[in-house]
Amino acid sequence: MSKRSRKALIGITTYGRQEALPFSLPSVYIDAVRAAGGTPILLPPGETDPTILLEPLDGLIISGGGDINPVWYKGSNHPSIYSIDSDRDAFELQLAKYAMQHHLPVLGICRGLQILIVASGGTLIPHVPEVYGNSVLHRIDPEPGKRLPTEHFVKINVESRLANFVQNTHISVVSWHHQAIHKVPDGWRVVAHAPEDGVIEAVEHEHHPWAIGVQWHPELSINDPHHERIFQAFVQATYIEQSLLTA
């Protein structure tokens, strides 16, 4: 069967192995990919050769989750950093580099955006409230060890691909993060901010056929057409790439 005669195979990274629990991923990621016309394939951390996993796939989603160990971007530790998983960090950084080098369509969501940035040589803000002074805009921490999502607005650059397929430049998003981009690496451009405080909310790669990272969680708003279109555009991009490869 040729690639062009089947649904796009979309790899989605999973959470790591923590306290002997099973590898897992919220079902909304899977639902979003299926609704957009793709077939989800879960990618648990641990494999040392990303080529084995990614060669058969048409696209990659790097999912959300805990914080990246700051040693990967020569950052400093912070008491707010949580759920560091060395296996997952190493695995996803390898996947990101492969996707960038081989022009595999890739969508980074929250932590996934940060993985793309770190893999490309960028850096992160360890704790957004200490830099931007807003402790509840991007995530709610009602008590120690408990974290909740929150909703706010994002302003998208009108000349970006993101605005083109979202079909709007001012949308409501669900966020669940306390870290964000600090230094944007070469090749990437900022295409969205939170207007209330200026936190970077989305980036696009300038040369890759389809590499986009969003700091919010579009899978949590899949019934909103703006967020549904992100997954639709991503899956459609994998078919375009298939056509180029098989032409």
d(CA 40, CA 115) in angstroms, rounded, equals 20
d(CA 150, CA 203) in angstroms, rounded, equals 21
Do residues 178 and 138 make contact, with C-beta atoms less than 8 angstroms apart?
Answer: yes
* Residues with a known catalytic role: 110, 217, 219
Total domains in the fold of the chain: 1
Residues 136-176 have pLDDT tens digits of 889 988 787 788 999 999 999 999 999 999 999 999 999 99
CATH of the domain at 154: 3.40.50.880
% of the chain with per-residue pLDDT over 70: 94
- Domain range for residue 64? 3-246
pTM over 0.75: yes
DSSP β-ladder status, 146-148 and 38-43? unpaired
Give mean pLDDT, residues 176-199. 97
Residues 3-53 have pLDDT tens digits of 456 899 999 999 998 755 789 999 999 999 999 999 999 999 998 888 899
- Retrieve residue 42's tokens: 């879960």
Label residue 20 exposed, middle or buried (CB < 10 Å: 0-12, 13-18, 19+). exposed
Q: Judge whether residue 75 has pLDDT over 80.
A: yes
Residue 202's DSSP bridge partners are: 192, 214
